[in-house]
Amino acid sequence: MTLRSLVATLALLVLAASPAHAAGTGSACHVPEAGHEGKVDIITPHITNGDHVEIPYWKFPFFLECTLPKWQPIHVGPLEIDLSPTKHVVMLWIGAALLFLVMLLVRRAHARAVTRGGVPTGGANAIEAMILYIRNEVILPNVGHHGEGFVPYLLTAFFMILTLNLLGLVPFGSTATGNISVTATLAILTFLTVEIAGIRANGVGYLNTIFYWNNELPAPMRPLMFLIMSPVEMIGKLTKPFALAIRLFANMTAGHIVVLALMGLIFEFGNLISGAPLVMATLIMVLELFVAFLQAFIFTLLSSVFIGQIREAHH
Partner 1 sequence: MSNNPRPSSDSDPSSIGAAAKYAGLGFQLVGSILLFLYAGRWVDRRIGTEPLFLLLGVFTGLAASIYSMYRSLMADQRREAERQGGGTR
User: What residues make contact with partner 1 under the rule CB under 8 A?
Assistant: 136-138, 140-145, 147, 228-229, 231-233, 235-236, 238-240, 242-244, 247, 298, 301-302, 304-305, 308-309, 312, 315
Is the peptide bond prior to 241 cis by the omega test (within 30 degrees of 0)?
no
CA nearest 63: which of 172, 161, 199?
Answer: 172
- Comparing CB distances to partner 1, the nearer of 87 and 240 is 240
CB 70 within 8 A of CB 51: yes
- Comparing CB distances to partner 1, the nearer of 120 and 249 is 249
**What secondary structure letter does DSSP report for 51?**
S
Smallest distance from partner 1 to CB 77, Å? 28
CB 197 within 8 A of CB 311: yes
Smallest distance from partner 1 to CB 9, Å? 38
Smallest distance from partner 1 to CB 186, Å? 15
Smallest distance from partner 1 to CB 185, Å? 18
- Comparing CB distances to partner 1, the nearer of 31 and 235 is 235
- Comparing CB distances to partner 1, the nearer of 89 and 134 is 134
Smallest distance from partner 1 to CB 148, Å? 9
Q: Burial code of 172-202, b = ≥16 C-beta within 10 A, e = fewer?
A: ebbbbbbbbebbbebbeebbebbbebbeebb
**What secondary structure letter does DSSP report for 77?**
T
- Comparing CB distances to partner 1, the nearer of 242 and 267 is 242
- Comparing CB distances to partner 1, the nearer of 41 and 233 is 233
In a 3-state reduction of DSSP, which class is residue 28?
coil
Smallest distance from partner 1 to CB 205, Å? 14
E strand or H helix that includes residue 196: helix 180-202
Residue 55 β-bridge partners: 64
Residue 70 β-bridge partners: 25
CB 285 within 8 A of CB 169: yes
